[in-house]
Chains A and B, each alone.
With several copies, the nearest count.
Chain A
Amino acid sequence: MINTLINPKQIIAARVAKELKDGDVVNLGIGLPTMVPNFLPADVNVILQSENGYIGLGPLDGDIDPDLVNAGGQPAGIIRGGAFFDSLFSFELIRGGHVDVTVLGGLEVDVHGNLANWMVPGKMVPGMGGAMDLVTGAKKVIVAMEHMAKSGSSKILQQCRLPLTGKGVVDMIVTELAVFRVTEEGLIIEELQEGVDLETVKEKTEAVFKINPSIK
Protein backbone atom coordinates (compact mmCIF):
# COMPACT_ATOMS: atom_id res chain seq x y z
CA MET A 1 0.00 0.00 0.00
CA ILE A 2 2.90 2.34 0.78
CA ASN A 3 3.72 2.58 -2.91
CA THR A 4 0.40 4.20 -3.58
CA LEU A 5 0.93 6.97 -1.06
CA ILE A 6 1.90 9.63 -3.46
CA ASN A 7 1.37 12.74 -1.36
CA PRO A 8 1.79 13.89 2.26
CA LYS A 9 -1.93 13.90 2.99
CA GLN A 10 -2.25 10.25 2.01
CA ILE A 11 0.75 9.32 4.15
CA ILE A 12 -0.86 11.04 7.12
CA ALA A 13 -4.33 9.58 6.57
CA ALA A 14 -2.92 6.07 6.13
CA ARG A 15 -1.01 6.31 9.41
CA VAL A 16 -4.01 7.68 11.33
CA ALA A 17 -6.08 4.77 10.02
CA LYS A 18 -3.84 2.38 11.98
CA GLU A 19 -5.01 4.02 15.23
CA LEU A 20 -8.64 3.06 14.66
CA LYS A 21 -10.02 -0.21 15.98
CA ASP A 22 -12.98 -2.19 14.77
CA GLY A 23 -16.17 -0.77 16.27
CA ASP A 24 -14.66 2.58 17.26
CA VAL A 25 -16.98 5.56 17.18
CA VAL A 26 -15.06 8.21 15.28
CA ASN A 27 -15.64 11.85 14.42
CA LEU A 28 -13.58 13.22 11.54
CA GLY A 29 -12.94 16.92 10.96
CA ILE A 30 -13.33 18.31 7.46
CA GLY A 31 -10.47 18.09 4.93
CA LEU A 32 -7.62 15.64 5.44
CA PRO A 33 -9.31 13.65 8.25
CA THR A 34 -12.13 12.60 5.94
CA MET A 35 -9.53 10.63 3.91
CA VAL A 36 -8.77 8.30 6.84
CA PRO A 37 -11.50 5.69 6.18
CA ASN A 38 -10.02 5.05 2.70
CA PHE A 39 -7.03 3.45 4.41
CA LEU A 40 -8.83 1.13 6.84
CA PRO A 41 -8.26 -2.60 6.37
CA ALA A 42 -11.31 -4.58 5.30
CA ASP A 43 -11.80 -6.10 8.77
CA VAL A 44 -11.88 -2.75 10.57
CA ASN A 45 -15.25 -1.05 10.52
CA VAL A 46 -15.56 2.20 12.37
CA ILE A 47 -18.79 4.05 13.06
CA LEU A 48 -18.66 7.69 12.00
CA GLN A 49 -20.44 10.29 14.08
CA SER A 50 -21.50 13.51 12.41
CA GLU A 51 -21.99 16.45 14.77
CA ASN A 52 -25.00 17.81 12.86
CA GLY A 53 -26.92 14.90 14.34
CA TYR A 54 -26.24 11.34 13.44
CA ILE A 55 -24.31 8.14 13.86
CA GLY A 56 -23.43 6.05 10.82
CA LEU A 57 -22.24 8.68 8.37
CA GLY A 58 -21.55 7.03 5.05
CA PRO A 59 -20.84 8.00 1.49
CA LEU A 60 -23.68 9.33 -0.64
CA ASP A 61 -25.74 6.33 -1.59
CA GLY A 62 -28.22 6.75 -4.41
CA ASP A 63 -30.04 10.02 -4.92
CA ILE A 64 -29.16 13.17 -3.03
CA ASP A 65 -31.53 13.77 -0.09
CA PRO A 66 -31.45 17.51 0.63
CA ASP A 67 -32.13 16.72 4.31
CA LEU A 68 -29.08 14.46 4.60
CA VAL A 69 -25.70 16.15 4.75
CA ASN A 70 -22.43 15.65 6.59
CA ALA A 71 -20.96 18.14 9.06
CA GLY A 72 -19.46 20.02 6.13
CA GLY A 73 -22.93 20.55 4.68
CA GLN A 74 -22.23 18.19 1.76
CA PRO A 75 -24.67 15.51 0.55
CA ALA A 76 -24.01 12.27 2.44
CA GLY A 77 -25.48 8.89 3.29
CA ILE A 78 -26.18 6.81 6.37
CA ILE A 79 -25.20 3.18 6.89
CA ARG A 80 -27.62 0.45 7.95
CA GLY A 81 -27.95 0.60 11.72
CA GLY A 82 -27.35 4.35 11.86
CA ALA A 83 -29.49 6.80 13.80
CA PHE A 84 -30.47 10.47 13.59
CA PHE A 85 -30.89 12.78 16.59
CA ASP A 86 -30.88 16.45 17.45
CA SER A 87 -27.85 18.68 18.06
CA LEU A 88 -28.27 18.49 21.82
CA PHE A 89 -27.97 14.72 21.85
CA SER A 90 -25.15 14.85 19.29
CA PHE A 91 -23.07 16.87 21.72
CA GLU A 92 -24.14 14.77 24.69
CA LEU A 93 -22.39 11.98 22.82
CA ILE A 94 -19.37 14.12 21.97
CA ARG A 95 -18.85 15.86 25.30
CA GLY A 96 -19.88 12.80 27.30
CA GLY A 97 -17.02 10.61 26.13
CA HIS A 98 -19.10 8.42 23.81
CA VAL A 99 -16.87 9.21 20.82
CA ASP A 100 -13.73 7.08 20.94
CA VAL A 101 -11.54 9.06 18.58
CA THR A 102 -11.66 12.41 16.88
CA VAL A 103 -9.26 13.27 14.06
CA LEU A 104 -8.83 16.96 13.40
CA GLY A 105 -6.58 19.19 11.35
CA GLY A 106 -4.39 21.75 13.11
CA LEU A 107 -2.80 25.13 12.53
CA GLU A 108 -0.57 24.75 15.58
CA VAL A 109 -0.02 22.11 18.27
CA ASP A 110 2.35 22.39 21.20
CA VAL A 111 4.19 20.22 23.71
CA HIS A 112 1.43 20.76 26.29
CA GLY A 113 -1.14 19.21 24.01
CA ASN A 114 -2.68 22.55 23.20
CA LEU A 115 -4.33 22.82 19.80
CA ALA A 116 -5.11 25.87 17.69
CA ASN A 117 -7.19 25.29 14.60
CA TRP A 118 -10.13 27.64 14.52
CA MET A 119 -8.98 31.20 13.92
CA VAL A 120 -6.20 33.49 12.79
CA PRO A 121 -6.93 36.91 14.31
CA GLY A 122 -7.44 39.56 11.67
CA LYS A 123 -7.48 37.00 8.88
CA MET A 124 -9.80 34.09 9.39
CA VAL A 125 -12.55 33.86 12.01
CA PRO A 126 -14.85 31.09 10.81
CA GLY A 127 -15.94 30.07 14.31
CA MET A 128 -15.17 26.93 16.25
CA GLY A 129 -18.24 24.95 15.20
CA GLY A 130 -18.10 21.68 17.12
CA ALA A 131 -14.30 21.50 17.39
CA MET A 132 -14.00 22.75 20.97
CA ASP A 133 -16.51 20.20 22.20
CA LEU A 134 -14.83 17.43 20.21
CA VAL A 135 -11.35 18.02 21.64
CA THR A 136 -12.82 18.31 25.14
CA GLY A 137 -15.00 15.23 25.00
CA ALA A 138 -13.54 12.62 22.67
CA LYS A 139 -11.59 9.88 24.43
CA LYS A 140 -8.65 10.25 22.04
CA VAL A 141 -7.73 13.36 20.06
CA ILE A 142 -5.51 12.87 17.02
CA VAL A 143 -4.22 15.89 15.13
CA ALA A 144 -3.58 15.00 11.50
CA MET A 145 -1.72 17.75 9.68
CA GLU A 146 1.19 18.54 7.45
CA HIS A 147 4.32 19.10 9.47
CA MET A 148 4.95 22.63 8.26
CA ALA A 149 2.86 25.60 7.22
CA LYS A 150 2.96 26.78 3.62
CA SER A 151 5.55 29.35 4.72
CA GLY A 152 7.79 26.47 5.78
CA SER A 153 7.52 27.20 9.51
CA SER A 154 6.94 24.40 12.01
CA LYS A 155 3.35 23.77 13.14
CA ILE A 156 4.55 21.81 16.18
CA LEU A 157 5.51 24.44 18.69
CA GLN A 158 6.83 24.86 22.18
CA GLN A 159 3.76 27.02 22.88
CA CYS A 160 0.86 27.79 20.59
CA ARG A 161 0.61 31.41 19.53
CA LEU A 162 -2.83 31.36 17.91
CA PRO A 163 -6.04 31.32 20.00
CA LEU A 164 -6.59 27.80 21.30
CA THR A 165 -9.28 25.34 20.38
CA GLY A 166 -8.48 23.32 23.49
CA LYS A 167 -5.98 23.33 26.31
CA GLY A 168 -4.04 20.14 26.98
CA VAL A 169 -6.36 18.07 24.83
CA VAL A 170 -4.17 16.46 22.13
CA ASP A 171 -3.11 12.83 22.54
CA MET A 172 -1.30 12.23 19.26
CA ILE A 173 0.07 14.14 16.28
CA VAL A 174 0.50 12.52 12.90
CA THR A 175 2.37 14.34 10.13
CA GLU A 176 3.98 13.18 6.89
CA LEU A 177 7.32 13.09 8.73
CA ALA A 178 6.56 11.50 12.09
CA VAL A 179 4.16 10.39 14.80
CA PHE A 180 4.23 12.07 18.22
CA ARG A 181 2.50 11.33 21.48
CA VAL A 182 1.69 14.04 24.04
CA THR A 183 2.47 12.77 27.54
CA GLU A 184 2.78 14.20 31.01
CA GLU A 185 6.54 14.37 30.39
CA GLY A 186 6.00 16.37 27.22
CA LEU A 187 6.15 15.50 23.56
CA ILE A 188 7.62 12.16 22.48
CA ILE A 189 8.43 11.13 18.92
CA GLU A 190 7.20 7.57 18.50
CA GLU A 191 7.79 6.79 14.84
CA LEU A 192 9.40 8.18 11.74
CA GLN A 193 7.45 7.92 8.53
CA GLU A 194 9.00 5.73 5.78
CA GLY A 195 12.22 7.25 4.47
CA VAL A 196 12.39 10.10 7.00
CA ASP A 197 15.36 10.50 9.37
CA LEU A 198 15.38 11.95 12.87
CA GLU A 199 17.62 14.87 11.94
CA THR A 200 15.10 16.05 9.34
CA VAL A 201 12.32 15.98 11.93
CA LYS A 202 14.43 17.87 14.50
CA GLU A 203 15.28 20.50 11.91
CA LYS A 204 11.68 21.02 10.89
CA THR A 205 10.17 21.02 14.40
CA GLU A 206 10.22 24.03 16.69
CA ALA A 207 9.06 22.04 19.69
CA VAL A 208 11.52 20.21 21.91
CA PHE A 209 10.63 16.51 22.03
CA LYS A 210 11.88 13.32 23.63
CA ILE A 211 12.71 10.28 21.54
CA ASN A 212 11.19 6.86 22.00
CA PRO A 213 14.14 4.44 22.35
CA SER A 214 12.69 2.32 19.54
CA ILE A 215 13.79 5.03 17.10
CA LYS A 216 17.35 4.86 15.91
Chain B
Amino acid sequence: MNKITSMEEISSILTDGMTIMAGGFMGVGTPQELVTAMLESGVKDITLIANDTAFTGTGVGPLIVNRRVKKVIASHIGTNPETGKQMIAGELDVELVPQGTLAERVRAGGSGLGGVLTPTGVGTVVEEGKEKITVDGREYLLEKPLRAEVALLKAYKADKAGNLIYHRSARNFNPLMALAADTVIVQVEKIVEIGEIDPDEVMTPGILVDKIFVQGGC
Protein backbone atom coordinates (compact mmCIF):
# COMPACT_ATOMS: atom_id res chain seq x y z
CA MET B 1 0.00 0.00 0.00
CA ASN B 2 1.64 3.21 -1.18
CA LYS B 3 0.87 6.04 1.24
CA ILE B 4 2.79 8.77 -0.59
CA THR B 5 0.29 11.34 -1.79
CA SER B 6 0.09 14.43 -3.96
CA MET B 7 -1.54 17.86 -3.78
CA GLU B 8 -4.15 16.58 -6.27
CA GLU B 9 -5.11 13.60 -4.17
CA ILE B 10 -5.34 15.76 -1.05
CA SER B 11 -7.66 18.18 -2.88
CA SER B 12 -9.89 15.28 -3.83
CA ILE B 13 -10.21 14.21 -0.20
CA LEU B 14 -11.29 17.64 1.04
CA THR B 15 -14.96 18.56 0.79
CA ASP B 16 -17.00 21.56 1.88
CA GLY B 17 -18.37 21.43 5.41
CA MET B 18 -15.79 18.95 6.68
CA THR B 19 -14.40 18.89 10.19
CA ILE B 20 -10.62 19.15 10.03
CA MET B 21 -7.99 18.98 12.75
CA ALA B 22 -4.65 20.65 12.19
CA GLY B 23 -1.53 20.19 14.30
CA GLY B 24 0.60 23.11 15.42
CA PHE B 25 1.15 25.71 18.11
CA MET B 26 1.25 29.25 16.73
CA GLY B 27 2.16 27.77 13.39
CA VAL B 28 5.03 25.63 14.67
CA GLY B 29 4.25 22.03 13.77
CA THR B 30 1.53 23.06 11.34
CA PRO B 31 1.74 21.42 7.89
CA GLN B 32 2.05 24.63 5.93
CA GLU B 33 1.95 22.96 2.50
CA LEU B 34 -1.24 21.10 3.41
CA VAL B 35 -2.79 24.40 4.47
CA THR B 36 -1.86 25.71 1.03
CA ALA B 37 -3.47 22.62 -0.51
CA MET B 38 -6.65 23.44 1.38
CA LEU B 39 -6.59 27.03 0.17
CA GLU B 40 -5.98 25.96 -3.43
CA SER B 41 -8.66 23.27 -3.32
CA GLY B 42 -11.29 25.92 -2.68
CA VAL B 43 -12.75 23.93 0.23
CA LYS B 44 -15.00 26.01 2.50
CA ASP B 45 -17.37 25.97 5.49
CA ILE B 46 -14.78 24.02 7.45
CA THR B 47 -15.02 23.28 11.15
CA LEU B 48 -11.42 23.66 12.25
CA ILE B 49 -9.99 22.09 15.40
CA ALA B 50 -6.57 23.45 16.29
CA ASN B 51 -4.74 24.77 19.33
CA ASP B 52 -4.87 28.34 18.02
CA THR B 53 -5.46 30.32 14.85
CA ALA B 54 -1.79 31.35 14.62
CA PHE B 55 -1.04 34.54 12.69
CA THR B 56 -2.69 36.00 9.61
CA GLY B 57 0.04 34.74 7.30
CA THR B 58 1.23 31.49 8.85
CA GLY B 59 -0.05 28.32 10.51
CA VAL B 60 -3.77 27.86 9.97
CA GLY B 61 -4.19 31.64 9.99
CA PRO B 62 -4.64 31.99 6.21
CA LEU B 63 -7.67 29.67 6.37
CA ILE B 64 -9.34 32.22 8.62
CA VAL B 65 -8.20 35.20 6.57
CA ASN B 66 -9.52 33.56 3.41
CA ARG B 67 -12.85 32.78 5.11
CA ARG B 68 -12.74 29.03 4.64
CA VAL B 69 -13.71 28.38 8.24
CA LYS B 70 -17.27 28.35 9.57
CA LYS B 71 -16.42 27.28 13.10
CA VAL B 72 -13.18 27.06 15.02
CA ILE B 73 -12.53 25.07 18.20
CA ALA B 74 -9.30 26.34 19.77
CA SER B 75 -7.67 27.44 23.01
CA HIS B 76 -6.30 30.75 21.74
CA ILE B 77 -7.18 33.15 18.95
CA GLY B 78 -5.43 36.29 20.19
CA THR B 79 -2.49 36.32 17.79
CA ASN B 80 -4.67 36.39 14.68
CA PRO B 81 -6.79 39.56 14.80
CA GLU B 82 -8.86 38.35 11.85
CA THR B 83 -10.35 35.56 13.99
CA GLY B 84 -11.66 37.98 16.61
CA LYS B 85 -12.91 40.36 13.94
CA GLN B 86 -14.96 37.69 12.16
CA MET B 87 -16.20 36.36 15.50
CA ILE B 88 -17.43 39.77 16.65
CA ALA B 89 -19.08 40.35 13.25
CA GLY B 90 -20.97 37.07 13.74
CA GLU B 91 -19.31 35.53 10.68
CA LEU B 92 -17.27 32.92 12.50
CA ASP B 93 -18.37 30.63 15.33
CA VAL B 94 -15.61 30.29 17.94
CA GLU B 95 -15.56 27.70 20.72
CA LEU B 96 -12.77 28.44 23.17
CA VAL B 97 -11.47 25.41 25.08
CA PRO B 98 -8.73 25.34 27.71
CA GLN B 99 -5.60 23.92 26.10
CA GLY B 100 -5.29 20.90 28.35
CA THR B 101 -8.98 20.14 27.91
CA LEU B 102 -8.63 20.43 24.14
CA ALA B 103 -5.82 17.88 24.22
CA GLU B 104 -7.90 15.54 26.40
CA ARG B 105 -10.98 15.89 24.20
CA VAL B 106 -9.01 15.00 21.08
CA ARG B 107 -7.45 12.03 22.84
CA ALA B 108 -10.85 10.88 24.13
CA GLY B 109 -12.19 11.03 20.58
CA GLY B 110 -9.28 8.99 19.34
CA SER B 111 -9.22 6.40 22.09
CA GLY B 112 -12.85 5.38 22.52
CA LEU B 113 -13.54 7.18 25.78
CA GLY B 114 -16.90 8.76 26.47
CA GLY B 115 -15.32 11.95 27.71
CA VAL B 116 -13.00 13.26 30.31
CA LEU B 117 -13.59 14.53 33.85
CA THR B 118 -11.42 17.59 34.38
CA PRO B 119 -11.27 20.13 37.19
CA THR B 120 -10.16 22.77 34.67
CA GLY B 121 -12.83 25.40 34.08
CA VAL B 122 -14.99 24.64 37.12
CA GLY B 123 -16.44 27.92 38.35
CA THR B 124 -15.76 29.72 35.06
CA VAL B 125 -17.79 30.35 31.89
CA VAL B 126 -16.24 27.16 30.50
CA GLU B 127 -18.65 25.12 32.63
CA GLU B 128 -21.74 26.60 30.94
CA GLY B 129 -23.94 23.93 29.39
CA LYS B 130 -21.77 21.10 30.66
CA GLU B 131 -22.57 18.28 33.02
CA LYS B 132 -20.77 18.49 36.37
CA ILE B 133 -19.80 15.21 38.00
CA THR B 134 -18.73 14.97 41.63
CA VAL B 135 -16.10 12.33 42.36
CA ASP B 136 -15.05 11.82 45.97
CA GLY B 137 -16.31 15.27 46.90
CA ARG B 138 -14.63 17.27 44.15
CA GLU B 139 -16.41 18.71 41.12
CA TYR B 140 -15.29 17.99 37.55
CA LEU B 141 -16.58 19.02 34.16
CA LEU B 142 -17.58 16.29 31.75
CA GLU B 143 -15.82 17.35 28.56
CA LYS B 144 -16.86 15.47 25.44
CA PRO B 145 -14.67 13.79 22.82
CA LEU B 146 -13.69 15.53 19.60
CA ARG B 147 -13.14 13.79 16.28
CA ALA B 148 -12.58 14.97 12.72
CA GLU B 149 -12.99 13.59 9.24
CA VAL B 150 -9.48 14.65 8.29
CA ALA B 151 -6.36 15.44 10.34
CA LEU B 152 -3.60 17.47 8.73
CA LEU B 153 -0.35 16.85 10.55
CA LYS B 154 3.30 17.79 10.35
CA ALA B 155 6.17 15.48 11.23
CA TYR B 156 9.90 15.69 10.74
CA LYS B 157 10.44 12.22 9.34
CA ALA B 158 8.35 9.28 8.16
CA ASP B 159 9.16 5.86 6.86
CA LYS B 160 7.05 4.56 4.01
CA ALA B 161 4.82 2.67 6.46
CA GLY B 162 3.91 6.04 7.98
CA ASN B 163 5.81 5.72 11.24
CA LEU B 164 6.48 9.28 12.38
CA ILE B 165 9.13 11.20 14.28
CA TYR B 166 8.48 14.79 15.33
CA HIS B 167 11.11 17.43 16.01
CA ARG B 168 11.46 19.68 19.05
CA SER B 169 8.38 21.69 20.07
CA ALA B 170 6.76 21.00 16.68
CA ARG B 171 5.31 17.80 18.18
CA ASN B 172 2.51 19.47 20.22
CA PHE B 173 -0.99 18.34 19.09
CA ASN B 174 0.15 16.23 16.12
CA PRO B 175 0.39 12.83 17.86
CA LEU B 176 -3.05 13.18 19.48
CA MET B 177 -4.77 14.19 16.29
CA ALA B 178 -3.32 11.14 14.53
CA LEU B 179 -5.70 9.07 16.67
CA ALA B 180 -8.82 11.12 16.20
CA ALA B 181 -9.58 11.47 12.49
CA ASP B 182 -11.00 9.15 9.85
CA THR B 183 -8.25 10.13 7.40
CA VAL B 184 -4.82 11.20 8.59
CA ILE B 185 -2.59 13.12 6.19
CA VAL B 186 0.90 14.09 7.26
CA GLN B 187 3.40 16.47 5.73
CA VAL B 188 6.98 15.36 6.34
CA GLU B 189 10.37 16.90 5.72
CA LYS B 190 12.06 13.59 5.10
CA ILE B 191 11.00 10.13 4.04
CA VAL B 192 13.00 6.94 4.63
CA GLU B 193 12.58 3.25 3.88
CA ILE B 194 10.68 0.91 6.16
CA GLY B 195 13.06 -0.42 8.79
CA GLU B 196 15.18 2.72 8.97
CA ILE B 197 13.40 4.00 12.08
CA ASP B 198 14.11 2.09 15.26
CA PRO B 199 10.77 0.87 16.69
CA ASP B 200 11.61 2.39 20.08
CA GLU B 201 11.88 5.84 18.48
CA VAL B 202 8.58 5.89 16.61
CA MET B 203 6.32 8.61 18.02
CA THR B 204 3.22 7.81 15.95
CA PRO B 205 2.85 4.30 14.51
CA GLY B 206 2.20 4.02 10.79
CA ILE B 207 -1.13 2.25 11.19
CA LEU B 208 -2.61 5.63 12.11
CA VAL B 209 -1.29 7.38 9.00
CA ASP B 210 -3.19 7.17 5.70
CA LYS B 211 -1.31 9.59 3.46
CA ILE B 212 2.19 11.02 3.47
CA PHE B 213 2.95 14.26 1.64
CA VAL B 214 6.66 14.83 1.25
CA GLN B 215 7.53 18.50 1.63
CA GLY B 216 8.44 20.09 -1.65
CA GLY B 217 6.36 17.36 -3.33
CA CYS B 218 8.98 14.73 -4.20
Which residues of A are interface residues toward B (Cβ below 8 A)?
22-23, 25, 47, 49-56, 65-69, 71-73, 76, 78, 80-88, 90-98, 114, 124-133, 136-137, 163-168
Question: What is the minimal beta-carbon distance from A210 to any residue of chain B, in angstroms?
Answer: 24
A129 surroundings in chain B (CB, below 8 A): 52, 75-76, 98-99
A93 surroundings in chain B (CB, below 8 A): 111, 179, 205, 207
* Closest CB pairs A-B (n = 6): A126-B78, A167-B123, A91-B100, A73-B26, A133-B100, A83-B202
B194 surroundings in chain A (CB, below 8 A): 80-81
Asked whether any CB of chain A lies closer than 8 Å to the CB of B135, the reply is no
Among A52, A92, A136, contact of B179 (Cβ-Cβ < 8 Å):
A92
Q: Are A92 and B107 in contact (CB under 8 A)?
A: yes
In B170-188, the 8 Å CB interface with A consists of: 170-176, 179
Q: How far is the CA of A56 from the CA of B194 in the complex (A)?
A: 12
Most buried by B among A47, A51, A55, A128: A128
In B111-156, the 8 Å CB interface with A consists of: 111-113, 118-126, 156
Interface size class of B (residues with CB under 8 A): 35 or more
Which residues of B are interface residues toward A (Cβ below 8 A)?
1, 25-29, 51-52, 74-79, 84, 87, 94, 96, 98-104, 107, 110-113, 118-126, 156, 159, 161, 163, 166-176, 179, 194-195, 199-200, 202-203, 205-208
Q: How far is the CA of A127 from the CA of B26 in the complex (A)?
A: 13
Residue in A closest to B26 when the chains form the complex, CB atoms: A73
Q: How far is the CA of A199 from the CA of B214 in the complex (A)?
A: 59
- A73-B25, A87-B176, A88-B104 known; A55 and B168 CB under 8 Å? no
Among A54, A66, A86, A97, contact of B199 (Cβ-Cβ < 8 Å):
A54
Give me 17 A-to-B residue pairs in the complex whose CB atoms sit less than 8 angstroms apart, sorted by A's number.
A22-B1, A54-B199, A84-B168, A84-B169, A84-B199, A87-B51, A88-B107, A92-B107, A94-B100, A98-B207, A127-B77, A127-B96, A130-B99, A132-B121, A136-B121, A137-B112, A164-B125
B87 surroundings in chain A (CB, below 8 A): 125
Among A80, A87, A98, A167, contact of B99 (Cβ-Cβ < 8 Å):
A87
Q: How far is the CA of A92 from the CA of B121 in the complex (A)?
A: 16
Q: Are B169 and A50 in contact (CB under 8 A)?
A: yes
B175 surroundings in chain A (CB, below 8 A): 86, 88
Question: What is the minimal beta-carbon distance from A24 to any residue of chain B, in angstroms?
Answer: 10
Among A53, A81, A92, contact of B111 (Cβ-Cβ < 8 Å):
A92
Question: Assuming A81-B161, A132-B100, what are 15 further A-B pairs, CB within 8 angstroms?
Answer: A49-B207, A51-B99, A81-B195, A81-B206, A83-B163, A86-B175, A87-B172, A88-B104, A91-B103, A127-B96, A128-B75, A130-B75, A131-B98, A137-B100, A164-B123
B98 surroundings in chain A (CB, below 8 A): 128-133
Q: Are A95 and B119 in contact (CB under 8 A)?
A: yes
Among B169, B174, B205, B207, contact of A68 (Cβ-Cβ < 8 Å):
B169
Q: How far is the CA of A112 from the CA of B85 in the complex (A)?
A: 34
Residue in B closest to A50 when the chains form the complex, CB atoms: B169
Question: What is the minimal beta-carbon distance from A183 to any residue of chain B, in angstroms?
Answer: 19
- A95-B100, A96-B110, A96-B111 known; A87 and B124 CB under 8 Å? no
B118 surroundings in chain A (CB, below 8 A): 95
A133 surroundings in chain B (CB, below 8 A): 98-101, 120
A86 surroundings in chain B (CB, below 8 A): 103, 166, 171-176, 203
Question: What is the minimal beta-carbon distance from A72 to any residue of chain B, in angstroms?
Answer: 8
Q: How far is the CA of A121 from the CA of B120 in the complex (A)?
A: 21
Question: What is the minimal beta-carbon distance from A138 to any residue of chain B, in angstroms?
Answer: 10
Question: What is the minimal beta-carbon distance from B107 to any residue of chain A, in angstroms?
Answer: 6
Q: Are B120 and A132 in contact (CB under 8 A)?
A: yes
Most buried by B among A65, A83, A90, A95: A83
Question: What is the minimal beta-carbon distance from A107 to any residue of chain B, in angstroms?
Answer: 14
B113 surroundings in chain A (CB, below 8 A): 95
Q: How far is the CA of A84 from the CA of B87 in the complex (A)?
A: 34
Q: How far is the CA of A163 from the CA of B127 in the complex (A)?
A: 12
